[in-house]
A = this chain, B = another copy of it.
Amino acid sequence: MTVAEPTRREQILTTAAELFAARGFHGVSVAELGAACGISGPALYKHFPNKQAVLAEMLVSISEELLAVGRARVAAADGPAAAVRALVDWHVEFALGHRPLIIVQDRDWESLPDEASAQVRALQRKYVDLLAGQLRMLRPELAKPTAHAAAQAAFGLLNSTPRAGHAISDAELRTLLASMAVAALRA
C-alpha cells in the first residue's frame, strides 16, 4: 500500500504552522509561505480565500480535536481522578506531537477574523471547563471559578512544552509534565 501523500491544502497547513510558530502570523508573508510550499505567492488563493483563513482552519480544527478527544477520554475514564489524569495525558501527548500548533494557538489566536476567533474561544473554554468539571467532582470544595482558574493554570504548565530546549527526551518530558500537572491540580 502506498504512503498517503498529503494534499496541497494539508501541506500548506503544516508548513504554515511551522512558519507561524517560528515568526508569528504577521511575521510570515504570503510569498514566504508559498515559497516554503514550493509554489509562489498568490497560488495560495487557489486553496484558501485569504491568509487569515489558513490560520483559522488550523486553529479551529485543532481546538475541535482537543475537545472531541478530551470528551472521549473523559467518557472512557473510570471516575474523576482517572478522568483528570486522562485529560492531562491526552494534552501532553498532543502538545508534544504538535509543538508548532500549540505555540500558534496561544500566541496568534487574536489575529483570527472575528467569527473564527469567537469559535476558537468557545471551543477552548469548553475544553478548559471539561477539566474544571472533573476537577470539581474530585474536589467538591472548589468553587467553579477557582476550578476554572486551576484548569487554565494546568494547561499553561503543559503548554510550556514546545518552548523547551531539546536537552531532555520526549519520553522524560512527557512523564515530567504529566506528573507536575497532576500534582498541581491536587494541591
Contacts and interface: CB of A to CB of B under 8 A. Distances in A.
Contacts of A111: 24, 27
A160, A168, A181: residue with the most chain B Cβ atoms closer than 10 Å: A160
Q: How many copies does the complex hold?
A: 2
Interface in A167-185: 167-168, 172-173, 176-177, 179-185
A10 interface: no
20 contacts: A24-B111, A27-B110, A146-B176, A148-B167, A149-B164, A149-B173, A149-B176, A153-B158, A153-B176, A155-B160, A156-B156, A156-B157, A156-B158, A156-B159, A156-B163, A157-B157, A157-B160, A157-B184, A183-B186, A184-B187
Q: A interface, by DSSP: helix, strand, loop or mixed?
A: helix
Interface of A: 23-24, 26-27, 107, 110-111, 145-146, 148-150, 152-161, 163-165, 167-168, 172-173, 176-177, 179-187
A110 B24 contact: yes
A187 to B, nearest CB: 3
Contacts of A172: 146
What 8 A-B pairs have minimum CB-CB distances, sorted nearest first?
Answer: A156-B160, A183-B187, A145-B167, A26-B26, A157-B157, A184-B184, A180-B184, A145-B168
A129 to B, nearest CB: 12
A89 to B, nearest CB: 15
Most chain B beta-carbon neighbours within 10 Å: one of A148, A156, A158, A179: A156
Contacts of A167: 145, 148-149
A103 B133 CA distance: 27
